[in-house]
Amino acid sequence: MDVQRWLSSAVAAVEDWQDSFGPYQPDASMRISDERFASVFGEFTQRLRNNYPFFHPSYAGQMLKPAHPAAVVGYLTAMLINPNNHALDGGPATGQMEKEAVAELAAMFGFGTHLGHLTSSGTIANLEALYVARELHPGKGIAYSEEAHYTHARMCGVLGVEGTPVAVDGAGRMDPAALDALLAGGRIGTVVATAGTTGLGAIDPVHEVLAVARRHGVRVHVDAAYGGFFTLLAGLADRAGLDEAPWRAISGCDSVVVDPHKHGLQPYGCGAVLFADPEVGRFYLHDSPYTYFTSGDLHLGEISLECSRAGASAAALWLTLRLLPLTPDGLGQVLAAGRRAALDWAALISQSGRLELYQQPELDIVCYFPVTAPATLSRIDAASVQMLDHGMKRERPVFLSTLRVTAAGMSQRHPGIEADAGGARILRSVLMKPETEGYVGELHARAEQLAAQAAG
Ligand SMILES: Cc1ncc(COP(=O)(O)O)c(C=O)c1O
């Protein structure tokens, strides 16, 4: 895709639409000459060089990558109009696009009925799910795994609800037996299952969590902010294919969050929350005297906690989904390549004398650490941090990230490592760009070199 070409088409299309309203004079107070802009823009683009190369396969660190060019063009085109999807009065076209895109997300998870909308982030989307959970089970707490995203505990605090972490198994997945014991106490109203944890990419057994929760009359919310689009690989007869059970179970849960700004190729901020029961819309009722006047149809602000939201986000997602639909051979191909990259790198690390795999990747996150002598947590911590640091400073840099693991987590997986500290930082690479599949050999070679240096 030639982004320059499509951006100029975007400007032309919007100007053509603007011209249909007749001429007007922009105010002098807003005028900026091209010469003045050029000098500031030069400084601005220079400042932006201070960034990590998220686009390049040598960036194998955090959950970050550029948006798809189609999403960028979609976003910028709509942004020239700057609709606000709070109300259909603020953005009739993008409001409709949002409803269509959200319906596609609901269908991807197999929701028969749904109520949902985009949000500015996964955090806000989860906040909405927990808010509805609180309204439906007043006075009851919310449970989530020890490996759940940190914002669940934070949002429980915001909502004034007691949050309780549930123990995980040896692969970082919620332990259904521990959940059963907790729910038997009767204090919990909602359990959050994470389909793809942020640290390890572990998938809670949603099907088992759902069965346990239903036995106790408890709601289930699925945080699939990071992992949700991997549902496209469920049951696929391909080595990137995933066990269907947890993914298919999402259709029976009460709510789900997925972040198009993570694996959906979208710019920040684009999260989404979906409820299976449209009746929960009643918890959002408000009576503002200054909204909603051109349409009797449902306004997105009537079913969301946030007020203003970028219509451009919905436009970008809608356009992207028309081009890369939510099918195994559409967006699924993009995720499958990252998943194969993770499997390939994990296989190389398993055979390496310099690196050790923390655990087998379930999605596209690979966690590993340098082999050190002595094999202690403090040596692993220091060597991992050195690898992170030196990797970025090399002539041909490689960008990694670290993950803090507990002594218990390490000894469950690697009993030979001496726990001389409470935990250690290890290395974590999110392989979310499909281009990484062809770059795994290079990443591995560089990581092995760094590990050799760090151990020496
Ligand atoms: C599982 C999970 N939940 C929630 C979040 C928070 O999402 P956001 O950063 O969009 O607020 C993340 C972010 O990585 C995540 O991985």
Q: How far is the CA of 148 from the centre of ligand 1 (A)?
A: 9
Task: Give residues (CB < 6 A) around ligand 1.
Answer: 63, 121-123, 126, 149, 151, 194, 198, 223, 225-226, 259, 271
Q: What is the pLDDT of residues 108-126, one digit of tens each?
A: 999 999 999 999 999 999 9
Q: What is the pLDDT of residues 216-264, one digit of tens each?
A: 999 999 999 999 999 999 999 999 999 999 999 999 999 999 999 999 9
To 10 degrees, the CA torsion angle through 92, 98, 101, 103?
-100
Quote the tokens at residue 442: 């290079």
Q: What is the pLDDT of residues 204-221, one digit of tens each?
A: 999 999 999 999 999 999
Res 270: pLDDT: 98
Q: How far is the CA of 260 from the centre of ligand 1 (A)?
A: 11
Q: What percent of the chain has pLDDT over 70?
A: 100
Atom of ligand 1 nearest to the CA of 226: 16
Helix spans in 20-68 (H): 34-48
Q: How far is the CA of 279 from the centre of ligand 1 (A)?
A: 26
Res 1: pLDDT: 93
Residue 357 has a CB neighbour count (10 Å cut-off) of 20
Q: Which residue has the higher pLDDT, 455 or 428?
A: 428
pLDDT tier for residue 394 given thresholds of 50, 70 and 90: confident
- Please give the average per-residue pLDDT across 400-420, as a whole number: 98
Q: What is the pLDDT of residues 310-331, one digit of tens each?
A: 999 999 999 999 999 999 999 9
| Largest Cα span, the chain | 76
Q: What is the mean pLDDT of the chain?
A: 96
**To test ligand 1's pocket by mutation, which of 168, 221, 226, 230 has the most ligand atoms within 8 angstroms of CB?**
226
Contact yes or no for 106/272 (Cβ under 8 A): no
Q: How far is the CA of 322 from the centre of ligand 1 (A)?
A: 25
Helix spans in 49-117 (H): 69-79, 92-108
Indicate left, alpha or beta for 172 from its phi (over 0: left) and psi (-120 to 50: alpha).
left
The answer on pLDDT for 295 being more than 80 is: no
* DSSP 8-class letter at 278: G
To 10 degrees, the CA torsion angle through 243, 254, 168, 128?
120
Both ends of the chain: CA-CA distance in Å? 46
**To test ligand 1's pocket by mutation, which of 151, 158, 250 has the most ligand atoms within 8 angstroms of CB?**
151
Taken in order 68, 69, 70, 74, is the CA torsion positive or negative? Answer: positive
Q: Which residue has the higher pLDDT, 168 or 290?
A: 168
The answer on pLDDT for 185 being more than 80 is: yes
Contact yes or no for 146/175 (Cβ under 8 A): no
